[in-house]
Structure 1
């Protein structure tokens, strides 16, 4: 995966003035756009789309010091008007193109990234792989913003609004793995952009032939392989650290890649105040291909 990401970075830099087809590029490298975007965002700390924008505006800043007209530069980097280009330029550099032409800066350059795998051996990944038939997730869903660190107050409010009896009712409906009450994230932005919306479902897993009460939301899950990571410790910090380690350590070291589908957290045990918890993180995966 590290080699693939470095190939992506090299391709981006040599095609900054082109319409970059991330899906086609990923396919040529033997992987998927979904996996590339998720791994890039997790390891680089920014979405791939944002990196491309920053690199384009970094190179465009040098063009502004020449004699080309502003519209020509804007079109060269994929913008249909000087206004759209100016907004993108200002978002990256904090100043407009006219300021750069007049004063030469200040500029905020985005250097070309280089991914390296460093194996420290200090994170023990308690992992198992399992094949699951198609199943269904049922429960109470809401659209919430993605938050990378710390508790998500929108999810907390969603769960708090459910009466205590509803949790017991949901647990009684569970009839397949993952067992128990589940925290489900679906329809997640492939770039994993913080603040983007996702569907959060508080519910359980049931087999496809189980009857579903009419008042519950449903998410159908396709058959396939799952990587299951166990975490234990302060909640949600330990779970979020495990999530980060899947991208930084497990996927680069194993012949698997993410496939589209919901991510699921099963809480196996927890303190009464939820300060600590033992959880299983279920991620949908498929075997990765070797880079071309």
Structure 2
């Protein structure tokens, strides 16, 4: 219940700060967590980034104000943190499909993005296995893309990235960089405030230099919580991800340590009911 109250208080504070800019550090303090952990938890629990939620709520409130008042478009744009009528109009059209001026026409259809609320849901019927691992920094080689979390774009990009790498033989080449080592899916350089991060398909390799074909990424030394996933991909591992943030974090004294996240894929039939892989999350004591 405590984490539920913290997230609900943060939502209430967000709503009070809709006019103007929002301070992520202030919201995180309200949730008694680090800014990174707060943003990562919010995204995993709601499906929206903090920035995306605030953006949609502001445009909902702005539409209501346009439809019910005679305030100038410029004044409403500035009120909700937009620096110019042009930037406001572009965002408004993307959200509602019409211009701010058209929102004042009688009978026009507007979209409303409601305020979020958190409710208690009894979970944890099944035990959740995990282990704590201390691991020094290690170097990886592979390929990467930069993707956005806005609107779930990262899920589509990453799925396509794996399909392309598998279809053109790149995954096999990466595996041969370090025979016997597991393939890694790495979420690195996460810029949650700007809704972007790099995603790598890579393998641990300490010796081979980077070149025009392979780039290097160093995973820093940290403490990891390691969660097994047993079952066909991708449904099983996606369920593990949800449980980590919905059940494990709220019930432990840990929070996200703001480092890269790993998926570790041993060789095997990923469609098999007994395929085993792992999720590695960097953690720190809250």
User: Which residue of 2 is the match for residue 70 of structure 1?
Assistant: 73
Greater mean alpha carbon deviation, residues 117-126 or residues 148-157: 148-157
Q: 1:60 to 1:147 in 2, by over 3 A?
A: closer
What CA distance in whole angstroms lies between the structure 2 residues aligned with 1:264 and 1:109? 36
Q: Is the 8 A contact 1:149 1:237 kept in 2?
A: no
How far did residue 197 of structure 1 move?
5.3
What CA distance in whole angstroms lies between the structure 2 residues aligned with 1:198 and 1:264? 12
Superposition RMSD on alpha carbons, in Å?
2.7
What CA distance in whole angstroms lies between the structure 1 residues aligned with 2:77 and 2:235? 43
Q: Is the 8 A contact 1:38 1:191 kept in 2?
A: no
Q: 1:163 to 1:234 in 2, by over 3 A?
A: closer
Q: 1:238 to 1:149 in 2, by over 3 A?
A: farther
Q: Is the 8 A contact 1:140 1:203 kept in 2?
A: yes
Equivalences for residues 1-292 of structure 1 within 5 A: 1-27=3-29, 29-64=31-66, 65-103=68-106, 105-133=108-136, 135-143=137-145, 145=147, 147-148=154-155, 152-159=159-166, 160-162=168-170, 164=172, 167-171=175-179, 180-190=182-192, 198-204=198-204, 211-215=207-211, 216-268=214-266, 270-271=268-269, 274-276=270-272, 277-288=275-286
Q: 1:268 to 1:89 in 2, by over 3 A?
A: same
Q: TM-score, normalization: structure 2?
A: 0.84
Q: Is the 8 A contact 1:137 1:218 kept in 2?
A: yes
Q: 1:164 to 1:39 in 2, by over 3 A?
A: closer
Greater mean alpha carbon deviation, residues 56-65 or residues 158-167: 158-167
Query: Structure 2 regions of 5+ residues with no counterpart?
Result: 148-152
Between Structure 1 and Structure 2, how many residues are aligned? Answer: 273
Higher helix share: 2
Q: Is the 8 A contact 1:23 1:33 kept in 2?
A: yes
Give the number of the structure with larger relative contact order, counting CA–CA contacts within 8 Å between residues 6 or more apart.
1
Q: TM-score, normalization: structure 1?
A: 0.82
Query: Structure 1 regions of 5+ residues with no counterpart?
Result: 175-179
How far did residue 147 of structure 1 move?
4.0
